[in-house]
Structure 1
């Protein structure tokens, strides 16, 4: 029986031609993206030649190919657009509430969380502008019997604050499942309920805060693709509520996520977009946004802009009142943390360490998760500078908090601690700290 000839992939060829992308270049990028996704790939230029001739990458590799093309072309590219899949891709529901419900339902299901969390972060994601989502929601109004008022809005606001408290004290590993369940079981029905226009708009604003916080937790747990999806839902809900504050805070969260992943230009772009969308913001939110702009500018080595933004951050913070938002607030601790990042990116390591220490001194006692990250970062940077004794002191303080928290970012710092101590294993101080780390690891595994 004659073998059917493959049909050349003209769609992929056109994309590569438009971007001037070579076969080897695409293969390398696909392998890098695959590693981020948790898939080990070993493609080379010959593999890409096969794709161009009509063969199809295996299913688990197709998202990596699409994302690699997106990054190389600097715009979103789907597997279908690249001619890589004969199966139609799922289309997102036009109903923002249904989208939030679907995401939360999957996130609260233990059997699906591993798959959901493996979703890939997209540096080329198109972010909806505020004017494109403002006042828009497509929930059906027919047949609703439940009505909401400001009491239900207060319930969502209070629960969001409680979840934030649990996040700070016990970590995202405990707090996020609660947030997902609350989204599905309570917030979703509230969003579909009847009520006055004022009550419905206030509910969308409260829900967007919770969705933003859930995305923040997913990001903190290093599930970046999932965090990005929550963030986009939060943007759309904030737009439907005409809530500029949460829209801008969410964009700033997306900027932080991009900076954590090393995408300097994207981090600055998102931070600038957040600032541009909030022309009439209060001084605390201005400080919040300018600080992130400073970090993004430092990542692209724009020293002048970075320090200008830091001055604007400090000036705005000095004008802020005594009230700091429970969700996504900004204070002296956060400011010094931004100063530390800017100085580190621009090569002033000694002053960066001083700023990070100042940040830790200003951190509220109850923010254990934030302290775990900040102390772990401080210890890591001290170790990079070969200040071993100071680093061990910070690692010891890190272990004080880490032992009682569930945090993937804390786990990452703990792994850095153990690997970073090995070259100094003969030092008595290091031996003592290593023994304590082993005991913490044993308790965590129990």
Structure 2
């Protein structure tokens, strides 16, 4: 007696048709994302065919499929829209603090939890109206009380962790931040106290989550960074801190644009600008510069140029550097101009703007960022055929590199050999090629 097979997944079939992909192309896209997060897959056209025919893949595979479809179609795809059951994760009713404790505990113990390295374009980023002033999501306990000194402790520790990060890098500093979140900050978030003090504590914790997420980005742990950013957004909203909320949201846009997700970066940058308090010209420059970079990566030349001009006008009107918000200054604006020019195809112009950045840099800027931006100069010099100039730039980078701890800089240095391999007949290129192999961190 014949039995009925699974019902074809019409929703998934519809999305697959929208992508224009073959079965093999979808399999390759899913496999690539699996490799990104450290869980390689070997799906084939026959596997995809089974999915379309109604076979329901495991939860891990479903997340990869949804991510691949979202990247291709340039919009968020829900599990329901793809015809898949929703994942169990995220269905619990844990409070923000309980989720933060779980996140920090996994991080401080260096567990290789799922998705640590996977950036997701389908992650739900909480909008300001959804999180603002929701203190009830952070339940207070009557076991102890908190005061302004506790808030000051979190702020001072965040500043100290930031300095340590600049000196030692995220690989060493982020576990310290995670331990502080779990052992000190989370209990303080759950403690009783005056409403204004509790709001200030949540605001301080939000910025600490942002810093910890920034460290994770430097290491290339994109999924982990997103989770810290989302916790920071939720805490900033619960405290009613619009300034910190828009600062973190802009940071999520920075993460997205650096990974090449232009449309998502635009949406996040615009949301940050729309939410930000209207506190002056420097804030406008801070937001417009990121919008310009995002539009450029998204291929929207008109809006990119309009926003970078807006940022330049705002910077001309800005108050003194000592009162700058988010460290945004003429040097940072020059960096954004370089990224806009590069995104729009003007590689030589981007090199000139990066050189202008270094002319405008303040002494307190970190060596880590200096090596990152110098690496961009060298890579772009090579791209426009300036081999000798690129080698000279790389020489300076490699002299400084052993004393700098940064995952991003590590990745730049690791790419030197690949970039120079075709040019080893040139003596300068050969010398830099050999030096890069000697100093690189594997």
1:102 and 2:102 are equivalent in the alignment? yes
Task: Give the TM-score of the pair, scaled to structure 1.
Answer: 0.89
Written as runs of structure 1 = structure 2, the 5 A alignment for 1:376-395 is 376-395=375-394
CA contact (8 A) 2:199 2:238 kept: yes
How much has 1:177 moved relative to structure 2?
1.6
Q: Is the counterpart of residue 344 in structure 1 residue 342 in structure 2?
A: yes
Number of the residue aligned with 1:13: 10
Provide the secondary structure at the position in 1 that maps to 2:322: coil
C-alpha separation between the residues in 2 aligned to 1:47 and 1:408? 36
- Structure 2's unaligned 5+ residue stretches are none
The whole-number CA distance in structure 2 between the counterparts of 1:331 and 1:5 is 69
SS at match of 2:433: helix
Q: Note if contact 2:27-2:44 (Cα within 8 Å) is conserved in structure 1.
A: yes
After TM superposition, the structure 1 = structure 2 runs for residues 2-401 of structure 1, keeping only pairs within 5 Å, are 7-10=5-8, 12-17=9-14, 20-21=17-18, 24=23, 26-57=26-57, 60-71=60-71, 74-78=75-79, 82-83=83-84, 88-110=88-110, 112=111, 114-116=112-114, 118-137=116-135, 138-142=137-141, 144-318=142-316, 319-324=318-323, 328-366=326-364, 367-401=366-400
Question: In structure 1, how many angstroms separate the alpha carbons of the residues matched to 2:219 and 2:301?
Answer: 31
Find the aligned partners of 1:350 and 1:286 in 2 and give their Cα distance. 27
SS where residue 323 of structure 1 aligns? helix
Q: 1:6 to 1:64 in 2, by over 3 A?
A: farther
1:366-418 deviations in whole A, cap 9, x for unaligned?
A: 50221121111111111112211111121122223321223221121111112
Partners of 2:248 and 2:206 in 1: CA distance: 9
Within 1, Cα distance between the matches of 2:58 and 2:195? 49
Unaligned runs of 5+ in 1: none
Judged with a 3 Å threshold, the aligned counterparts in structure 2 of structure 1 residues 71 and 302 are, in CA distance, closer, same or farther, namely closer
Aligned-partner Cα distance in 2 for 1:336–1:45: 47
Whether the aligned pair in 2 keeps the contact of 1:168 and 1:370 (CA below 8 Å) is no
1:83-120 per-position Cα deviation (integer Å, ceiling 9, x unaligned) = 479x844525441111212111111112x0x3356353
Mean CA deviation greater in 328-337 or 31-40: 31-40
Superposed displacement of residue 338, structure 1: 0.2
TM-score (norm 2): 0.90
Give the Å deviation of 1:362: 2.9
The Cα of 1:45 is off from its aligned counterpart by: 3.5
Q: State the number of aligned residues.
A: 435
Counterparts of 1:301 and 1:67, CA distance in 2: 21
